[in-house]
């Protein structure tokens, strides 16, 4: 009979595509892991992996096995967590993923309060782009993620806790810098700088401003809002930032002005993303409440 240990081993091999690294990940010897995987393949009657001295590949039928293996592990974890669902919120370890255009601005507000109210909480935080975090939640690698919507999250639950608008940032003295509002039609000649492809904030800004999806500034390849702000200070152009980032990004730059984007609101919505059968809902609800209080 195939064991949960063998299932854990093949998922480790899938993640690392390397038997030695998979063994280290599982804290067993390489020979023990390799033997267990080989025995599982014999029981199945086919290979899950193709391997030689140089590489490990997942076979086509192996992909089906691994998909079901992930589902089994998730179900086992949810079974183990059933008892925890009756405990006090945030009384057990949590792993949360946050996208880069939220993490630097949300965490400084939430973590001090969280540490004070729940000093025993073991919280693991990772910063990744939306696409990666959605897959990590779906595969059970993390408990939840904080994303900006809209974003495709098929098969997952979205729990919104914040809405916000975008603000146009330019040097004081700019033609529109003293306005209270600015429309997307006025941005056409403002040398607008956005984050590189892959950041959902860029897509949200393009949607809010009704700009074409292929909009780009070939001179810009920034991966953080702080970099964009420094480029504005350096007279390279203008940019748009979310409301939650204004205080942190602009408090040391008195040469800048922030003007509200006058387009249909909200420009983006912030939400926790979880699996439908996630059993620690009380902890997510507690985190959502803290986020609302501090934003």
Q: E strand or H helix at 193, and its extent?
A: strand 192-193
| Higher-pLDDT residue of 98, 141 | 98
pLDDT of residue 85: 54
Separation between Cα atoms, residue 252 and residue 47, nearest integer Å? 59
| Higher-pLDDT residue of 76, 17 | 17
Does the domain at 4-81 match CATH 1.10.10.10? Answer given as yes
pLDDT of residue 112: 96
Residues of the chain with CATH 3.40.190.10: 87-163+268-294, 166-261
Separation between Cα atoms, residue 53 and residue 30, nearest integer Å? 14
Kindly tell me if the per-residue pLDDT of 203 is higher than 90. Answer: yes
Least confident of 47-61, 71-85, 110-124: 71-85
pLDDT band at 204 (very low <50, low <70, confident <90, very high): very high
What mean pLDDT do residues 204-215 have?
A: 88
Sign of CA dihedral 254, 113, 289, 105: positive
Kindly tell me if the per-residue pLDDT of 126 is higher than 70. Answer: yes
Does the domain at 87-163+268-294 match CATH 3.30.430.20? Answer given as no
What mean pLDDT do residues 95-121 have?
A: 94
pLDDT band at 83 (very low <50, low <70, confident <90, very high): low
pLDDT band at 218 (very low <50, low <70, confident <90, very high): low
Separation between Cα atoms, residue 77 and residue 95, nearest integer Å? 14
Kindly tell me if the per-residue pLDDT of 234 is higher than 60. Answer: yes
Kindly tell me if the per-residue pLDDT of 157 is higher than 70. Answer: yes
Kindly tell me if the per-residue pLDDT of 244 is higher than 70. Answer: yes
For the stretch 34-49, pLDDT in tens is 999 999 999 999 999 9
Kindly tell me if the per-residue pLDDT of 84 is higher than 60. Answer: no
Separation between Cα atoms, residue 242 and residue 240, nearest integer Å? 7
What length is written for the chain? 295
pLDDT of residue 55: 87
pLDDT of residue 195: 92
Q: Which CATH architecture has domain 166-261?
A: 3-Layer(aba) Sandwich (3.40)
pLDDT band at 54 (very low <50, low <70, confident <90, very high): confident
Residues of the chain with CATH 1.10.10.10: 4-81
pLDDT of residue 88: 67
pLDDT of residue 175: 85
Portion of the chain with pLDDT greater than 90, in percent = 68
Mean pLDDT of the chain: 90
What mean pLDDT do residues 88-92 have?
A: 77
Q: Which single residue is written with the structure tokens 């040469």?
A: 255
| Higher-pLDDT residue of 150, 280 | 150
**Residue 223: partners with Cβ closer than 8 Å, 6 or more residues away:** 100, 195, 196, 199
Kindly tell me if the per-residue pLDDT of 100 is higher than 90. Answer: yes
Kindly tell me if the per-residue pLDDT of 73 is higher than 90. Answer: no
């Amino acid at each position: 009979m195939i064991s949960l240990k063998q299932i854990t081993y093949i998922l480790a091999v899938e993640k690392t595509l390397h038997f030695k690294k998979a063994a280290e990940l599982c804290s067993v010897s390489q020979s023990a892991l390799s033997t267990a995987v080989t025995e599982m393949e014999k029981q199945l009657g086919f290979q899950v992996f193709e391997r030689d001295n140089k590489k490990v590949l997942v076979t086509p039928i192996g992909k089906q096995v691994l998909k079901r293996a992930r589902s089994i592990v998730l179900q086992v974890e949810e079974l183990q967590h059933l008892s925890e669902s009756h405990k006090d919120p945030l009384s057990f370890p949590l792993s949360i993923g946050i996208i880069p255009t939220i993490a630097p601005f949300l965490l400084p507000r939430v973590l001090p309060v969280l540490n004070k109210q729940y000093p025993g909480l073991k919280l693991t935080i990772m910063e990744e782009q939306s696409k990666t975090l959605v897959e990590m939640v779906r595969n059970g690698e993390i408990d939840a993620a904080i994303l900006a919507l809209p974003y495709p999250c098929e098969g997952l639950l979205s729990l919104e806790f914040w809405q916000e608008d975008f603000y146009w940032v330019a040097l004081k003295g700019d033609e529109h810098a003293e306005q209270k509002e600015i429309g997307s039609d006025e941005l056409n000649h403002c040398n607008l700088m956005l984050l590189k492809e892959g950041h959902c904030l860029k897509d949200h800004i393009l949607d809010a401003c009704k700009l074409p999806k292929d909009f780009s500034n070939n001179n810009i390849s920034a991966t953080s809002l702080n970099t964009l702000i420094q480029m504005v200070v350096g007279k390279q152009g203008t940019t748009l930032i979310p409301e939650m980032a204004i205080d942190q990004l602009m408090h040391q730059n008195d040469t800048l002005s922030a003007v509200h984007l006058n387009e249909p609101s909200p420009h983006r919505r912030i939400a926790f993303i979880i699996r439908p059968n996630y059993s620690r809902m009380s902890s997510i609800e507690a985190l959502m409440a803290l986020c609302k209080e501090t934003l």
